[in-house]
Amino acid sequence: MTERVVLAYSGGLDTSVAIGWIAEETGAEVIAVAVDVGQGGEDLDVIRKRALACGAVEAEVADAKEEFADEYCLPAIRANALYMDRYPLVSALSRPTIVKHLVAAAKKHGAGIVAHGCTGKGNDQVRFEAGISSLAPELTCIAPVRDYAMTRDKAIAFCEDKNLPIATTKKSPYSIDQNVFGRAVETGFLEDIWNAPIEDVYEYTSNPAGPREADEVIITFQQGVPVAIDGKPVTVLQAIQQLNERAGAQGVGRIDMVEDRLVGIKSREIYEAPGAIALITAHQELENVTVERELARYKRQVEQRWSELVYDGLWFSPLKRALDGFINEANEHVSGDIRMTLHGGRAVVTGRRSQSSLYDFNLATYDTGDTFDQSLSKGFIELFGMSSKIAAKRDLAQ
């Protein structure tokens, strides 16, 4: 029986060439699988037909935008997930979504190998392969660019030699990955970390310095889930899409950072994630109102570890699943409204209200009606500082 390989297919030059390249290198039949996570671009049916024209024996396409938003972006919002306190895991979240579809296709078509188009220097190779091995340990993985030296020059020559139905001339100076949760841009002149990004790098966001009226928005959450914008019900996908448009128009969500890759190198990355940043900012503030202090303090530690696990490709790991349980519990009372002003590249919270609020006006006020018993504070301070006071006496006596 002929071996079968499931290929993560984008419709671009590299993965189109990979179909024939893998067939020649391995003698296997190739099944192409394209997954729509809101990256835009060509119609899925056009991509499917191209895969078949390039030699795939089967081609599957999946509209996974709702699945991506509900099962991957939403947990990140509830976790306030920001790798290195800045990056909302745009690419890292899409990989396990794609992995699930690749594994399902491999089982459906009796394939023993899964292939992807990642290089040997990036994080995505780990995200694909660690995810695949967690869901289907019996599958093996190959990467033509990494394993078979499929350089771009060789890919173009292969494409022209085989007369494949894909353009080979236009090449962006950047490496771009995008989905509904955001957009990542790297390489080209950006590899010199002294070079400032120019406006043509950006697509999801307008120049924040441009003159425009501010945009006020109210985001409603139920147990950490965005359920309405300005009082109108939305799905998670719709919340992200609407805020991509509105926050993006105000230049919100631009990130320029040097990040620590899993493979041990530092990489300069430009991100645009207007909807993600607006939603995480709003969710963080609603937690400030509704989550008890010790739980909130501990959750911040969990958020950092959760973000690192997802960035490192361990979405399906036991620790990630266990932390999901904690995050779900911590979001039980995160319900209410957050009012934000979107303007000048910033999403600024200006109002909060919640039936689950722990904010007590009568305890907080300094005016008449104050119910806080200040006479208790003197004894509290004495006990709170006791251990430090005893240690200080000892240290001064030495």
Q: Is the pLDDT of residue 170 over 60?
A: no
Contacting residues for 389 by C-beta, under 8 A, at least 6 apart: none
Q: What is the pLDDT of residue 137?
A: 96
Predicted pLDDT of residue 188: 85
**CA-CA-CA-CA torsion for 366, 370, 374, 380, nearest 10 degrees?**
-100
pLDDT digits (tens, 9 = 90+) for 89-130: 999 999 999 999 999 999 999 999 999 988 888 899 999 999
pLDDT at site 386: 95
pLDDT of residue 134: 97
Backbone CA torsion sign across 356, 339, 300, 306: positive
29-36 and 140-142 as β-strands: parallel, antiparallel, unpaired? unpaired
Residue 226 has pLDDT above 80, yes or no: yes
pLDDT-above-90 percentage for the chain = 81
Tens digits of residue pLDDT in 312-331: 999 999 999 999 999 999 99
User: Looking at 71-75, 189-193, 319-323, which range is the least confident one?
Assistant: 189-193
The 10s digit of each residue's pLDDT in 342-391 is: 999 999 999 999 999 999 988 888 887 788 888 899 999 999 999 999 99
Catalytic residue, chosen from 133, 175, 206, 317, is 175
For the chain, the distance separating the N- and C-terminal CA atoms, rounded to the nearest angstrom, is 82
Phi, psi of 138 (to 5 degrees): -80, -15
pLDDT at position 231 is 98
Query: Known catalytic residue: 360?
Result: no
Q: Does residue 14 carry a catalytic annotation? A: yes
3-state secondary structure of 276: helix
* 171 pLDDT higher than 70: no
Active-site residue flag, 70: no
The rounded mean pLDDT for the chain is: 94
- At 164 the pLDDT is 85
Tell whether the model's pLDDT for residue 80 goes beyond 80.
Answer: yes
Instruction: Say what the pLDDT of residue 168 is.
Output: 61
198-231 burial: b if 16+ Cβ within 10 Å, else e: eeebbebbbeeeeeeeeeebbbbbeebbbebbee
Least confident of 97-101, 143-147, 244-248, 342-346: 143-147
Average pLDDT over residues 197-217: 95
Instruction: Quick: pLDDT tens for 35-62.
Output: 999 999 889 999 999 999 999 999 999 9
Confidence (pLDDT) at 74? 98
What's at 103, amino acid-wise? V
| Res. 169 pLDDT band, cuts 50 70 90 | low
φ/ψ of 288, rounded to 5, equals -60, -30
Question: Quick check: 321 and 309 in contact, CB under 8 A?
Answer: no
Q: Say which residues have a Cβ less than 8 Å from residue 397's Cβ, sequence separation at least 6.
A: none
Residue of 48, 91, 94, 124 marked active site: 124
Q: What is the pLDDT of residue 78?
A: 98
Q: Which of 78, 95, 127, 254 is catalytic?
A: 95
Mean pLDDT for 236-255 is 98
d(CA 210, CA 168): 36
β-bridge partners, 7: 32, 115
pLDDT at 151: 80
> Is there a catalytic annotation at residue 95?
yes
Polymer length in residues for the chain: 398
Q: Single out the catalytic residue among 14, 36, 177, 312.
A: 14
In this structure, are residues 197 and 173 in contact, taking their beta carbons and an 8 Å threshold? no
Work out the average pLDDT over 1-14.
Answer: 90
pLDDT exceeds 90 at position 153 = no
